[in-house]
Each structure stands twice: as C-alpha cells, then as structure tokens.
C-alpha cells in the first residue's frame, strides 16, 4: 500500500512538470525597425536671361545663392528699341509638397534730369523715374500669360501684383518656370486705359522722359510645407 502511494505521487509530480521539461504549443511574432524619417523641402532658384548684345549680365543663382539679371551696366545703358527677358526656374528639390509664394517690390529712380529730360520732355513734377511707366513687360508661368499677351506688353505695376498673388502647389521635385519679358519701344508711349502697350488707346509721350531713369525689381520666393 505504501509503495503504491509513492508511485502515485511520482506520477502526479511528473504530470505537474516538476523535475523535467514539458513541450507545449508556442509562436513568436516581431515588430522591429519601426522608423520615423523626416522629409525634405528645398527651393532652388536658377536664373537665366536674354537682352541686347553686350548690355546684360546674368548671375545664375542656385541653392541659397541670389541670382539676377542686370540690364544696362555702367557703360552700356539701355535705349529705346531694346528688349530682353529674365527666366526664373524654381524647383522644389525636396520630397515634401509645398506652396510657392512671392514678395516683389519695384523701385523706380529718376537719377537726375538732363536738359532733354527736364526741358524738352517736361519731366518736372512727375513720379520719381518714368522708365517703369513706358517699359512694357510680360509675365508667363509655365507658358501661360499672367501679364500681357502673345501680342501685347503690359505694365510693371501689374507684373508686381501678379508676382505677389502667386500661390502655387509644388510637389517634391516639381518646377515652375516664370519668364519676365520686357520691351522698350522705339517710340515710347503710355499704356492707355486698357493697360496694354501696342493698342489704339496708347498715349504718345516724349521719349526723353526716361533718360537716366532706372528701375529695380526685388523678388523673394518662398516655399512653405503644404
């Protein structure tokens, strides 16, 4: 009877796993490599230009580098009958979509008045500098006219307004190409009520009004995560 009791106890302990291993069902799954990576957003401005031979200098700009086109340097000023262009190629070189906006200002200077400008043209009490009033401009974005048309130039003030109104979505790697074309007609005129040069309502002026005048366009391009 005692021997039977011992045998039963050993069997019971074995059943509980005491003093040995017990194989059961099991399974293992993993979740390693949970990773968080920030995207990139970077605007690059490449500048190109065309103009009268020997009368323009292009600084091509780049990533973090100011670019511009200077027409009529110190020794080679512009005269009526000339034209040119500035091309801004703006690219989001990052991976994150952004919205492109612009801030543009125009500074117009008289730079003194010689006898033809002051006496013959009567540039006495006008705004400072008139070059911006009689130089026609066009602006396109990816080939679509924002100012002027295929046949007519428009006003500088409209060009500045158009730049400041830009709000363009730009996916990663996307580009926008803006082209500013300008023309100083051989016979200068005002735009007239339709705000376009080369139309019937243009207003004749004395070309000497723009002697020595200059204008500067400053533009800042901003790409913001969208």
Closest CA to 72 of 95, 98, 51: 51
Q: Which stretch binds Ca ion (CB under 5 A): 7-15, 120-128, 139-147, 170-178?
A: 120-128
Q: Total binding residues for Ca ion by CB under 5 A?
A: 14
Q: Which stretch binds Ca ion (CB under 5 A): 18-26, 166-174, 175-183, 200-208?
A: 200-208
Binding residues for Ca ion restricted to 57-116, rule: CB under 5 A: 110, 113
What is the distance, to the nearest Å, from the Cα of residue 167 to the centroid of all Cα atoms in its chain? Answer: 10
Q: In this structure, are residues 161 and 218 in contact, taking their beta carbons and an 8 Å threshold?
A: no
Does an H or E element contain 70, and which?
Answer: strand 65-71
Asked whether position 122 contacts Ca ion by CB under 5 A, the answer is: no
Binding test (CB under 5 A) with Ca ion, winner from 42, 101, 212, 214 = 212
Q: In this structure, are residues 208 and 116 in contact, taking their beta carbons and an 8 Å threshold?
A: yes
Binding test (CB under 5 A) with Ca ion, winner from 51, 91, 123, 136 = 123
Asked whether position 192 contacts Ca ion by CB under 5 A, the answer is: yes
Distance (Å, rounded) from C-alpha 77 to C-alpha 114?
15
Angle subtended at Cα 9 by Cα 5 and Cα 14, rounded to the nearest 5 degrees: 150
Tell me whether residue 44 or residue 130 sits nearer to Ca ion (CB atom). Answer: 130
Asked whether position 207 contacts Ca ion by CB under 5 A, the answer is: no
Closest CA to 159 of 210, 200, 215, 224: 215
Asked whether position 132 contacts Ca ion by CB under 5 A, the answer is: no
Query: Which residue's Cβ lies closest to Ca ion?
Result: 192
Tell me whether residue 187 or residue 194 sits nearer to Ca ion (CB atom). Answer: 194
Alpha-helical (H) ranges within 1-69 are 2-15
Asked whether position 194 contacts Ca ion by CB under 5 A, the answer is: yes
Binding residues for Ca ion, rule: CB under 5 A, are: 110, 113, 123, 130, 191-192, 194, 196, 199, 201-202, 209, 212-213
């Amino acid at each position: 009877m005692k021997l039977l009791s011992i045998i039963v106890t050993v069997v019971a302990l074995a059943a509980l796993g005491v003093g040995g291993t017990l194989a059961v069902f099991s399974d293992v799954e993993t979740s390693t490599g949970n990773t968080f990576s920030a995207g990139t957003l970077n605007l690059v401005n490449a500048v190109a230009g065309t103009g009268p031979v020997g009368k323009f200098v292009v600084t091509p700009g780049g990533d973090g580098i100011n670019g511009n086109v200077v027409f009529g340097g110190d020794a080679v000023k512009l005269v009526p009958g000339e034209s040119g262009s500035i091309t801004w190629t703006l690219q989001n070189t990052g991976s994150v979509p952004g919205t492109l906006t612009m801030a543009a200002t125009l500074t117009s200077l008289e730079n003194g008045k010689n006898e033809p400008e002051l006496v013959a043209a009567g540039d006495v009490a006008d705004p400072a500098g008139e070059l911006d009033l009689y130089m026609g401009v066009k602006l396109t974005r990816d080939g679509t006219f924002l100012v002027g048309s295929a046949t007519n130039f428009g006003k500088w003030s409209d060009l500045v307004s158009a730049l400041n109104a830009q709000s363009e979505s730009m996916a990663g790697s996307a580009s926008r190409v803006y082209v500013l074309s300008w023309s100083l007609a051989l016979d200068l005129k005002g735009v007239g009520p339709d705000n376009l040069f080369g139309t019937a309502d243009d207003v004749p002026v004395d070309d000497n009004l723009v002697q020595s005048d200059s204008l500067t366009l400053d533009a800042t391009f901003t790409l913001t995560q969208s």
